[in-house]
Amino acid sequence: MILLFSERSICTLDQDMRQLTLTRTRIWRTTVQEIPFNDIQAIVVERSRDSDGGSTYRLVIVLKSGDQAPLSGYFTSGRRGYQKQAQQMTDFINQTYTAQPVQASLDGTIRVSKEGTTDGVPWTLEILSVDDGVPTTRWFAARGGLPGHFLLLMPAVGPNAAMPMQGVLASVARFAYRQYLRLLRLDVEELPGLEHAVTLSNLDERLSAHYTALTSDALAGEAWLTPRRVDAIAGWLAQHPFRQRDASEHLVVVVAPRGVWLIFQADIHEDVYVQEITRLGVSLVR
Q: 155-212 pLDDT, tens per residue?
A: 875 444 444 444 444 555 566 677 777 777 777 788 888 888 888 988 999 998 888 8
Question: Above 50 in pLDDT, residue 215?
Answer: yes
Domain-wise residue ranges, the chain? 2-105, 109-285
Which of 101, 58, 55, 111 has its CA nearest to residue 83? 58
- 2-5 and 9-14 as β-strands: parallel, antiparallel, unpaired? antiparallel
Query: How do residues 66-77 score in pLDDT, each as one tens digit?
Result: 888 887 766 777
Q: Which of 45-59, 135-149, 204-218, 224-238 has the lowest mean pLDDT?
A: 45-59
Q: Where are the alpha helices (DSSP H) in the chain?
A: 79-94, 167-183, 205-208, 218-224, 227-239, 271-285
Q: What is the pLDDT of residue 191?
A: 87
CA–centroid distance for 157 within its chain: 20
Pick the CATH number of 2-105 from 1.10.3470, 3.30.70, 3.40.50, 2.30.29: 2.30.29
Return d(Cα 21, Cα 11) in angstroms, integer.
6
Q: Provide the 8-state DSSP code for 191.
A: S
Return d(Cα 13, Cα 7) in angstroms, integer.
19
Q: What is the pLDDT of residue 114?
A: 81
Q: What is the pLDDT of residue 135?
A: 78
Q: What is the pLDDT of residue 281?
A: 97
